[in-house]
Structure 1
Amino acid sequence: MTTDRRLTWLLGSSALSNLGDGIGKVAFPLLGASLTRDPLLIAGLSATAFLPWLLFALISGALVDRVDRRKAMLLANTSRAIIVGALAVLVLLDATSIWLLYAMALLIGTVETIADSAAQALIPAVVDKAGLESANSKLQSAEIVGQTFLGGPLGGVTFAVFAALPFLLNSAGFAIAAILLLAIRGNYRPKTTGPAPKLRVQLAEGVSWVRKRPLMVQLVAFAAALALTSELAQALLVLYALEDLGLTSAAFGVFALVGGAGGLIGAAVAPRLTKLLSRRTVLTAAVAGCAVAFGVMGVVYEPVAGALLFGVFAASVVTVNVIIGALRHALIPEHLFGRVLGVWRTAVWGAIPLGALLGGILAAWLSTRAVFLISGALQLGLAGTLWVVLARHENSIETLGEEPALSGPSPSSSPGSGESAPAPGESAPAGA
């Protein structure tokens, strides 16, 4: 099978699993809002969904570097189909509570750490380095189409029909995503030169690789800060739409659709922008776009204006993710990718629960609108900081990680650390 076809199957599976994610990410908060309007509990639901990244991302990344990554994705999607299917049955039986939603969100999030890490690690196996930015753009597009452009409206409309329907569709999306992975042939287990090292040794290698590279450390710190500051407001999006803008559950799905359209625009223009302007300029401008969008959302009262601003935020944050994703794939050796991604997502996605809880506390103390203003102001500060920091690494950023010290093999010499496997024939949250 050619590289393009393997990438097509991977993107198709990703789009369907993200369709399930998108339906769930609208249906979960809507179900939660039908049980309570406490902003802290609603924000806590979002925090719980991302908590597994803080707890298990390192371990999941190490596991992904020990097993066939395609099979890991297949098993994870099958597991998610079963978990969400069980939730649909409980909703049908009217046997839900806010605490049950917390438990289900934790389970689904835990399995997601495997699925997403494996999907990211598969990309360098199906495209060469020159195609990384394009492949990341396509993966972001598949995520946006699945999660927001289709999943968001479907989640809102089907929840309005009857509460269990979006969860049934969610389960079906994960199941079909697993089936599509069967079309990808080949062995996608990282090649090693000896017996697999102990898990703690592999974890240490990932941490050590990041720690010795100042650019990677600074990218992780920036992405974590962006994830935290944007999640302050994002965790409260359902309350902002339902209470501040006065939308219905079905209209909330349309609100998410506008965000999806913005995200698609961001995914489409990001590779083109980096050919016209420096990556430093595009990244900084995109973060500033996130800041302005959320800041202005805090003062508008018109639903259409609020939705359009959310679309601007989505376009900006996807532009950030496309560029950072391509840099990450270019900088990280293939055999270490799962572990380094585990370090990345422990910091970045681990910041999301903290941002969600802080957003809930601030909303209870001040208001939802005030949280959007605070989030925008903090992200504007991040944009300025990023411009200064990237000036020190402009050559590495603009050459997409071609600096030998960054793209070379891991300095680790521990047994079984492995060589970069030959290619067998060769997304979010902010900063994903």
Structure 2
Amino acid sequence: MRALFAVPLGADFWKLWASSAVSNLGDGVTMVAGPLLVASISPDPAAVAGAAFAQQLPWLLFALISGAWADRLDRRRLVVAVNVVRGGALGVLALAVAAGSAGVPLILIVCFVLGTGETLADTASAAFVPALVPPVSRPRANSLLYANFNLINQFAAKPLGAWLFVVAASLPFGLNAATFGVSALLVASLRPLPATGRSGRLRSEISFGVRFLFAHRLLRTLAVTMAVANLVFCAAFAVFVLYATQRLGLSDIGYGVLLLAFAVGGFLGTLVASRLLQAVGASRLLRLGLLVEVALHTTLALTTNPLVAALMIVIFGIHTTVWGVVVTTIRQRDIPAELYGRVTSVYSLTDVAGAALGSLLGGLYATAFGLTATYAAAAVAMLLVASFAWRPLRVATV
């Protein structure tokens, strides 16, 4: 364990970390302000849902293509260029909001541009840590990056976004535009990363990345497990607001406080992930994580006590961060640098597809069978997933 913290992460990593922190602040602010802006323009729920879908749709359309381009191009320059474009799109939106001329069509276009940029920038930047950080320090580096999301995006940015929107509706979007500019400068200051220089047929390159993933037993198991787990989780939590108010008896404020339990658990996970990985090992942590998933849905199906539900959600939040750190570290070791974009894009596509399908099925299932049955079915489904993944996960190490 001493070696884990003895090896310095390096100046380039801290630039990457700062870029991540700034981006998480901007993204979190817009995550809150975006729906508020749409709702202030149109009371139609379809408009609010449409803005969220417009940002998710590019992942379904372009994830695999973006992964191939992330492997072809200079990843550092690609991230810089995409951040400049995203900052420009948000700058246009901020000016339109300030002028009182922003409409739903413009918001949808900007959300689509942001989502398309995410498919490129997130996929390309995923390869930065293995290029910049020694293998022994990667769990620590990944934990620090997860901390940005849990602490800044989930805690700090959301109330800031709501406050800025109240002060002036254009401010959150102007701030996010500025954060993209700062992030671009920080990424541009990183040392040059090796370029793959690939120039073959795009379809063949995508196909090769997909085949690599599904030929690797451990990576295949992790990808399928997370796709199904996302489907199950999003199906159960698509009706979570109804569960919290009707079954737990919480007020709207109580529901908001309960949601914070996810962020609390996630942040605690960043504090312990590296140490747990060293003390317990990757295989045991991943298997334990699957049992936590089963326990979450089982607890929610059985309890009517908000404190019990909150405690279980905190434990689940710890698990999600620890799982993410372990899996990310395994991918950084097992995926060749020249394939990293394509293989990562397959993960992203399966995750988003599972989440989208789960959100659709959750409401239908809850309508047909009730809230409690939704969480009971989720527990059974995750038990089956754990049974499928249990044996392949025995070889997981970092």
TM-score normalised by length of structure 2: 0.83
Which residue of 2 is the match for residue 20 of structure 1?
A: 26
**Which residue, 42, 46, 52 being the options, matches 2:58?**
52
The counterpart of 2:210, out of the listed 204, 207, 210, is: 207
In the aligned structure 1, how far is the partner of 2:312 from the partner of 2:264? 12
Over 3 Å counting, the alpha-carbon distance change for 1:344 and 1:89 in structure 2 is: same
* Alignment of 1:232 onto 2:235: yes
Aligned partner (choices 326, 333, 337) of residue 336 of structure 2: 333
Residues matched between the structures, number: 387
- 3-state secondary structure, aligned to 2:73: coil
Quick check: 1:386 aligned with 2:392?
Answer: no
Cα displacement string for residues 162-216 of structure 1 (whole angstroms, at most 9, x for unaligned residues): 43332222222222111212321224423x5xx6222222112211212322222
In 2, the alpha carbon distance for the partners of 1:107 and 1:233 equals 30
**After superposition, what is the alpha-carbon deviation per residue over 1:98-123, rounded to whole angstroms, capped at 9, x for unaligned?**
56544433221110011111111111
Letter in 1 for 2:159: P
Is the contact made by 1:117 and 1:338 (CA closer than 8 Å) also made in structure 2? Answer: yes
**Counterpart amino acid of residue 355 in structure 2:** I
1-side partners of 2:220 and 2:363: how far apart?
29
- CA-CA distance at 1:310 after TM superposition: 4.8
Q: Is the 8 A contact 2:217 2:392 kept in 1?
A: no
Q: Deviations over 1:3-60 (max 9, x none)?
A: 511111111101111211112222233445554474x765555444322222111111
Q: Tell me which amino acid in the other structure corresponds to 2:212.
A: W
Cα distance in 2 for residues equivalent to 1:237 and 1:169? 31
Distance 2:206 2:291 in 1: 35
Asked if 1:71 corresponds to 2:77, the answer is yes
Q: 1:248 to 1:390 in 2, by over 3 A?
A: closer
Question: For structure 2, which runs of at least 5 residues remain unmatched after alignment?
Answer: 1-7
Is contact 2:94–2:171 with CA below 8 Å preserved after alignment? yes
Distance 2:167 2:243 in 1: 22
Q: Distance in 2 between matches of 1:37 and 1:295?
A: 35
Give the Cα separation in 1 of the matches to 2:240 and 2:17.
Answer: 28
Q: Is the 8 A contact 2:154 2:263 kept in 1?
A: yes
How far did residue 145 of structure 1 move?
Answer: 2.7
Aligned to 2:279: 276
Which AA in structure 2 matches 1:283?
L
Residue number in structure 2 paired with 1:265: 268
Is 1:185 paired with 2:188?
Answer: no
Tell me, yes or no, if structure 1 residue 90 matches structure 2 residue 93.
no
Report the CA distance shift for 1:78/1:187 in structure 2 as closer, same or farther (over 3 A): same
1:70 shift after superposition = 1.1
Quick one: structure 1 residues 41 and 315, their matched pair in 2 at CA, closer, same or farther if it must change by over 3 Å? Answer: farther
Matches within 5 A, 1:30-429: 30-32=36-38, 35-36=42-43, 38=45, 45-95=51-101, 100-190=106-196, 196-233=199-236, 245-247=250-252, 252=256, 258-290=261-293, 292-293=295-296, 310-361=313-364, 365=367, 370=371, 374=374, 377-378=377-378, 381-383=381-383, 385-386=385-386, 388-395=388-395, 397=396, 399-400=397-398
What is the CA deviation profile of residues 343-392 of structure 1, one whole-angstrom value per residue up to 9, with x for unaligned ones? 221222232222233345556x479x92x872574256325533552323
Say if 1:20 and 1:173, in contact at 8 Å, map to a contact too.
yes
Residue identity opposite 1:172 in structure 2: A
Unaligned runs of 5+ in 1: 401-432
Work out the percentage of aligned pairs sharing the same amino acid: 31
- SS class of match (1:196): coil
Which amino acid in the other structure matches residue 330 of structure 1?
A: R
State whether residues 57 and 346 of structure 1, in contact with CA within 8 Å, keep that contact through their aligned partners in structure 2.
yes
Q: CA RMSD in A?
A: 3.5
After superposition, the Cα gap between the structure-2 partners of 1:172 and 1:236, relative to the gap in structure 1 and judged at 3 Å, is farther
CA distance in structure 2 between the partners assigned to 1:176 and 1:65 by the alignment? 24
Does the CA-based 8 Å contact 1:225-1:351 persist in structure 2?
yes
CA deviation after TM superposition for structure 1 residue 91, in Å: 3.4
Give the structure with the larger helix fraction.
2
Instruction: Report if the CA contact (8 A) 2:228-2:385 is conserved.
Output: no
1-side partners of 2:131 and 2:391: how far apart?
Answer: 31
